[in-house]
Amino acid sequence: MSRTTAQHEQTSLIDTADIRPDSTPSLAEYDVILVASSAGKDSQAMLDYVAELARAAGVEDRIVVLHNDLGEVEWPGTAELAQEQAKHYGFRFEMRHREQGLLLDQIRDRHSKLRAKGDTTTPAWPSSAARYCTSDQKRGPARKLITQLVGEKNLDRQARVLYCLGLRAQESSGRAKKPELAVDPSASSGVREVTVWHPILHWSEDDVWARIRTSGVRYHWAYDKGMKRLSCSFCVLASREDLLCAARLRPDMAAKYAALEDELGHTFKADLSMADIVAAAATH
């Protein structure tokens, strides 16, 4: 078993949430239980844990697994694995695609709009300060699916929705500050109350891999190839080590990033160019 880390970034629905005391929610109290899956290790371990709780509560039929497909920048086989993992537990699987089209096309379009406004300095690439690549992809599709699922229930009262995300405090100081359980007022309405839950927030990486080993469910091949994160193949938040690994595994996609870098006149990251990554990967 690979002992590497991380997963596809999952963007929380929380904007300014009413924070409740951290606790494990009673799944039987919710009409819809939506589980976000990147097919990465954290969401895989979370899915196994939620499945255990759902079986104990007798509400397995309320669980829906959502995978937000990233298109060409996603690791090959990811969508299929997410579906396979959901099927293992007998859960309904839903997949949504980027509403903004291919990420590299979106970056190119953003560059054009910035220049049309006379802005010649702001890079169009996503960054830690401008993570539109994940917020655009995750928030909208998740909320639209929640609307659909609540409508299917045809309830004569406000529906209660539990949205599960596989974030862990160990991964960053920002994640460590997140509440384990919180109502999201911006996603809620008179029709539904949406509660965001981070089931494995306090788990360690060892806890995650132990859960996966016990489950016996297949995990993503990229971990065994050396990747520590399972997000976009070339995530702007990835380490140099991961970017080098990804460039070796997906040279054609790395070349696309380098070509776009040259076209836009801005490097992939402020302190690191994809051209340098491609060159370094070729020598290792």
Per residue in 135-186, pLDDT tens?
Answer: 655 578 899 999 999 999 999 999 999 999 998 987 877 778 888 899 999 9
Domain residue ranges of the chain, discontinuous segments joined by +: 18-230, 239-284
Question: Which tokens sit at 169?
Answer: 């405090």
How far apart are the C-alpha atoms of 35 and 39, rounded to whole Å?
A: 11
Q: By CB neighbour count within 10 A (0-12 exposed, 13-18 middle, 19+ buried), where does 69 fall?
A: middle
How far apart are the C-alpha atoms of 62 and 92, rounded to whole Å?
A: 9
22 DSSP 8-state letter: P
Residues in Cβ contact with 149 at an 8 Å cutoff, skipping those fewer than 6 apart: 32, 34, 64, 161
Q: Give the residue from 245, 218, 246 showing the smallest Cα distance to 232.
A: 246
Q: Which CATH architecture has domain 18-230?
A: 3-Layer(aba) Sandwich (3.40)
Instruction: Return the exposure string of 232-242: e unless at least 16 CB atoms fall within 10 Å of the residue's CB, then b.
Output: bbbbbbbeeeb
Residues in Cβ contact with 185 at an 8 Å cutoff, skipping those fewer than 6 apart: 15, 16, 17, 18
Per residue in 252-271, pLDDT tens?
Answer: 999 999 999 999 999 999 88
Q: Is the pTM of this model over 0.75?
A: yes
